[in-house]
Amino acid sequence: MADGHREDGTGIGSRREARESALGILYASDRRGEDAAAVLEAQPIPAPAFAVDLVHGVVAHAAELDALIDDASEGWSTERMPAVDRVLLRMAVFELLHRPDVPTAAVLAEVVELAGDYSTERSGRFVNGVVSRLAEELRPTVDGA
């Protein structure tokens, strides 16, 4: 823990690694048409607790997440999006809705960075726009803070 990492996914930097792990699991599930829980269980190294929470949360709330994403993405449905973008948006919206312990700014920064690292050249802007729109709706600021 001296390096700021904890196995539960709550240390500095470890949420980034957990998000990458969840992204890989959910992407594999999406592309292969396999159950995400089965992909999660098949991992050679157990995923961090935060990644497990993201995977199970995205699966449990998929219909709700997709409806919100479809409404906010102006002309794009989740089915038409690149798979990586779709997964990243689902993860971010799940965090906004169901993980109040994660700051909004952290959700936005991480999803944009992951989109830049793992998706198309334009994905960062697209993902940022959708998540920012939803963050304003789902986590309105109080007194302009």
**51-99 pLDDT, tens digit each:** 999 999 999 999 999 999 999 998 888 988 999 999 999 999 999 999 9
DSSP H or E run through 100: none
Residue 121 CA to residue 135 CA, distance in Å, equals 23
Q: Where are the domains of the chain?
A: 14-138
- Burial environment of residue 100 by CB neighbours within 10 A (0 to 12, 13 to 18, 19 or more): exposed
Mean pLDDT of the chain, nearest integer: 89
CATH homologous superfamily of domain 14-138? Answer: NusB-like (1.10.940.10)
Task: Map residue 145 onto helix, strand or coil.
Answer: coil
Res. 1: pLDDT tops 50: no
| Cβ count near 111 (within 10 Å) | 27
pTM above 0.75, yes or no: yes
Residue position matching structure tokens 């699966």: 59
